[in-house]
Amino acid sequence: MSPVCSDFSESTIVNLNRRDSDYSMIFWQQDIQVAAKPRGFHLITDQISQALQGAPAVSVGLLHILIKHTSASLTLNENADPAVRRDFERYFQHLAPDTDRNAPYEHTYEGPDDLPAHFKASLLGSSLTIPVTDGRLNLGTWQGVYLGEHRTQAAGRDLILTLQGQ
């Protein structure tokens, strides 16, 4: 059988040609809570990796992470220099600053930071999908998972992790 894509390695082609009975696909799901954090961007890679240790072992898979809130976000970016996270906060605060009573928006009753938090969350997104190899997140050397906290005073944030793999 010829590969569909010339980028497939020989081992991938062999795996694709195996019968379903040779594999057992697993699905695992875990809710985690990230403690309340101040407004800004926070690395949560270690907390996600810790939760993943409780999952069934997979050699290859995908971890889907969803934040169950509309005023916080998830993104993948630089994990080494904390200045990047501070610069992210400055950039997004400039892009969508807190509103005042004279702002041309209707949704203002939850506070001046609420609607801008919704804008930021929509721009950055509420989910990530990350490859998992041999039970570990398969990220680049300088990559980390950020939780973008866009409210001035927020409670903890709930995430749901869903792993599928073999």
Residue 148 included in any domain: yes
Contact assessment for residue 144 and residue 45, using Cβ atoms and an 8 Å cutoff: yes
Range with the lowest mean pLDDT among 17-21, 42-46, 104-108?
17-21
For position 145, which CATH number holds?
2.60.120.460
The residue to which tokens 């590969």 are assigned? 3
Q: Rounded to two decimals, what is the model's pTM?
A: 0.85
How does strand 157-165 pair with strand 127-133?
unpaired
Residue 22 has pLDDT above 80, yes or no: no
The count of structural domains within the chain is 1
Mean pLDDT score, 145-160: 96
What SS3 class is residue 28? strand
Residue 12 included in any domain: no
Residue 9 included in any domain: no
Domain region containing 90: 25-165
Residue 4 included in any domain: no
Residue 20: predicted pLDDT? 54
Confidence band, pLDDT 50/70/90 cuts, at residue 7: very low
Q: Over the stretch 63-120, which tens digit does the pLDDT of each residue have?
A: 999 999 999 999 999 999 999 999 999 999 999 999 877 778 888 889 999 999 999 9
Residues in the chain: 166
Calpha distance 162→64 (Å, rounded) = 5
Residue 10 included in any domain: no
What SS3 class is residue 162? strand
Residue 6 included in any domain: no
